[in-house]
Structure 1
Amino acid sequence: MSASIERRRLDAVVVGAGIVGSALALGLKRRGLDVAVVESTPPAAWRAESPDLRVYAIAPDSEALLAALEVWPAVRAARAQPYAAMQVWDAGGGAPLRFDAAALGVPRLGHIVEHGLLVDRLQSALGAAGVPILDAAVEGLDPGDDDVTLRLSGERRVRASWVFGADGAASAVRGLAGIDVDARDYAAKGLVAYLRTGSPHDATCWQRFLPSGPLALLPCADGRVSIVWSLPQDEADRLAAVPEAQFNAEITRASDRVLGDLALDSPRIAFPLKRQLASRLREGRIALLGDAAHAVHPLAGQGVNLGLRDVGELLAGVDEALLRRRAPVSETMLSRWARRRHSENVVSARAFEAIHDVYSNAVLPAVALRGWALAAGNLPPLNRLLWGHAAGGAR
């Protein structure tokens, strides 16, 4: 750690150098704030020949934020797959729900991007902007009247006017700030892998709801698809271990052969699925963003968009304060931001959860309701409204 950082009081410290934390730190730096990042596990460099198994469906508003941070061109140039359609259907029957860019009057619905690539390009941008990244763990937070002292591993300390915790679902900042979480363990796992397809993916995201949980097939730039398959724990563990030929046969059946025969083309990894909602996003001069504030069900890779919306709205608040010649971050602004984001994140998390519960229910009334909902979603006004919300344009 630079001695000068220890001696001065920073405007802000962001804990966590993932997508959300890096985007926030970069945005604050671009607005003239003296900011540093603390990260206990520095991310590995992204390598094109080793695709990250974690992928996201980046919504248009998230893309716009990354473009404003001057990061998106580098991401797109490396590897990003635009998708022009999304189709959702139910194994229980009924017409599929389809979103189509042309029908909605937009050039695309979003991009599929690897987690590691996004982090790598954001890290490069932080370095170019001169934002220091401190390799340390946060061991304590000591709030003062107008700042917070962070006690870091190695008996180091740093002071800042504001602390932003973007350090993931197991957030140390959240725990040290005494913020509780409302949690639900789904007793399920998400199975992720890359697959080769028998038919082209047509730049379309496919999602089928099965009694065991949703299966998403996300189009990738190299012609493969990335799957996120939500399954009961025992079933996920079984499918992660069965011989490759057996897995291929089972995933092909589960996908309804929408892309023909599917074949495994990467390792398989299963991770536990939980929902966590922080009881509040602010405690004094400490605020939470991203998975530290809300870990949600990974339906179609949408969770990262909630975190980037946390960032976008906070930066919008900073912009408004600077335009009015006020302090860029204040208790009033941060409280307003925290209330609004907490409300919207709770609604989104509960919506993902409700979709998961309804579509994993084989009881006849639930099946009938699902068929009606999918059919109604294809009505043009409702289709546009649903997509507008998913794209970040409707609140």
Structure 2
Amino acid sequence: MALQRTQVLIVGGGMVGLALAISLAKAGRRVVVVERNEHPETMPEQPTLRVSAINSGAQQWLTELGAWERLPQERIAPYQGMSVWEHDSFGKIEFTAAQADLVSLGTILENQVLVAALWQQAKNVGVELVSGVGIAKPEYHENDVSVELDNGNVILAQLLVAADGARSQLREHVGTPVIHRDYEQQGLVATVESSEPHEGIARQVFLAGGPLALLPMANPHQCSIVWSLPSTEAQELCGMPEEAFSQQLTVASNNCIGLLKPVSERMSFPLVMQYAQEWVHGRQVLVGDAAHTIHPLAGQGANLGFGDAFHLANKLNALGTLNGQWDNHELSRALRGYERARKAAAVRHIATMEGFHQLFTGTNPVLKAARSVGLSLVNQTNPVKDFFLRQANELG
């Protein structure tokens, strides 16, 4: 057994945990990242299913961290427009990057590609990276936290960051209460090929069962889809023959970019909202999906997580140390300040997503007509459109 000391131990080597690690290391902090999966630094050769819409605020921060330049150019898919409408209705909202004086509204990236770039940059700036290893239950002390790894080694850290996802092991260890909302839906994901080019426009159509998002990939004829559906329907579509699925998907999309054919496997995952009621437990703090998950209909989950990492890094990097140690009271005050600010941001996003979910659920013809009128009014009102554009481009 080996004992290792560090300032910050981050459990979870996903996008949020790695971005936080890089920011801390660039400010001279000693950081260790432990990731259960092996070889996160390997850039996938083939397109992968899970993608994120990275807004301009998050992109700017990732550029400052030195991670953006490590992304393969052929996997970067900026989009210049958004189109949102309701199926079989006249209501529609359209945005363009030019309206916000931007080159693009954001960038569609495969999660695994971004993780690989972040992992490589974390290694480059001196973060100690440990992959293929899990953790046992931590021991919490007044001035530090000790964590035993599956390989028997022990890491003693001044701060433990739980970046270990929606099913956070660290959150569960301390019994943090979580507000949970099961939407009783699945998110069906796949890569599809369109007979017409997507023209760099992100599209979303609201259907009776849930929204269908068509996210433009670097290939002008390929999109990543995220289709929110009742669980039984999602399972049926995942197992449906390719031709039948193609027909249903094309009809659901209003044939907006022609015939859609799957060019990958189809997978689905449960859609839930989670919100941890306590983000700080002594010298443990939650970030990203460990603290909150939201409905994917607006594509803001990754950006909200990056916002957590950005604000926590700023709080920690502003702290002074004595002989490499943080003062208990100063650290606690910084963590509580982070918790207050980011809880407020998470609640705003959750409330907005819940409002959208409630508004676009159901087929009542009166409600459907009201939605269509509302969408049309929003599309014609510049101040309202400007608000949505700002929300789509701020860092969390």
Same fold (TM over 0.5): yes
Select which of 1, 6, 9 maps to 1:13.
Answer: 9
Distance 1:321 1:100 in 2: 40
Number of the residue aligned with 2:49: 53
Q: CA deviation at 1:29?
A: 0.7
Number of the residue aligned with 1:145: 142
Number of the residue aligned with 2:81: 85
- Inter-CA distance 182–175: structure 2 relative to 1 (3 Å threshold): same
The one-letter amino acid of 1:346's match is V
Instruction: Note if contact 2:188-2:228 (Cα within 8 Å) is conserved in structure 1.
Output: yes
Select which of 212, 216, 222 maps to 2:219.
Answer: 222
- Inter-CA distance 252–99: structure 2 relative to 1 (3 Å threshold): same
The one-letter amino acid of 1:392's match is E
Distance 1:280 1:73 in 2: 36
Deviates more, 1:29-38 or 1:98-107: 98-107
- Inter-CA distance 104–262: structure 2 relative to 1 (3 Å threshold): same
Distance 2:366 2:9 in 1: 51
Distance 2:216 2:312 in 1: 31
Number of the residue aligned with 2:336: 335
- Inter-CA distance 287–276: structure 2 relative to 1 (3 Å threshold): same
The SS at the match of 1:266 is coil
**Runs of 5+ consecutive residues of structure 2 not aligned to the other structure:** none
Deviations 1:249-280 (A, max 9, x none): 00000000000111111111111111111112
Distance 1:90 1:297 in 2: 18
Answering whether residue 87 of structure 2 is matched by residue 96 of structure 1, we say: no
Instruction: Note if contact 2:41-2:119 (Cα within 8 Å) is conserved in structure 1.
Output: no
Q: TM-score by structure 2 length? A: 0.93
**Residue pairs, 1:184-333, within 5 angstroms:** 184-223=181-220, 224-321=222-319, 330-333=331-334
**Runs of 5+ consecutive residues of structure 1 not aligned to the other structure:** none
Instruction: Note if contact 1:191-1:231 (Cα within 8 Å) is conserved in structure 2.
Output: yes
Q: TM-score by structure 1 length? A: 0.93
Q: CA deviation at 1:84?
A: 0.4
Number of the residue aligned with 1:345: 346
The SS at the match of 1:139 is coil
Number of the residue aligned with 1:384: 386
Distance 2:206 2:127 in 1: 43
The one-letter amino acid of 1:385's match is F
- Inter-CA distance 125–118: structure 2 relative to 1 (3 Å threshold): same
Distance 1:278 1:169 in 2: 10
The one-letter amino acid of 2:13's match is A
Q: CA deviation at 1:43?
A: 4.7
The one-letter amino acid of 1:369's match is A
Off by >6 Å, runs of 4+ in structure 1: none
Select which of 104, 109, 116 maps to 1:113.
Answer: 109
Number of the residue aligned with 1:22: 18
Answering whether residue 62 of structure 2 is matched by residue 66 of structure 1, we say: yes
Distance 2:230 2:249 in 1: 15
Instruction: Note if contact 1:140-1:152 (Cα within 8 Å) is conserved in structure 2.
Output: no
The SS at the match of 1:361 is coil
Q: CA RMSD in A?
A: 2.0
Distance 2:348 2:88 in 1: 26
- Inter-CA distance 7–268: structure 2 relative to 1 (3 Å threshold): closer
Deviations 1:23-75 (A, max 9, x none): 11111111111110111223555445411100111011110111111001122
**Residue pairs, 1:27-42, within 5 angstroms:** 27-42=23-38
Distance 2:43 2:9 in 1: 29
Percentage of matched positions with identical amino acids: 35
The SS at the match of 1:140 is coil
Distance 1:267 1:86 in 2: 26
The SS at the match of 1:185 is strand
Deviates more, 1:355-364 or 1:251-260: 355-364
Distance 2:366 2:277 in 1: 33
Instruction: Note if contact 1:16-1:168 (Cα within 8 Å) is conserved in structure 2.
Output: yes
Answering whether residue 175 of structure 2 is matched by residue 178 of structure 1, we say: yes
The one-letter amino acid of 2:98's match is A
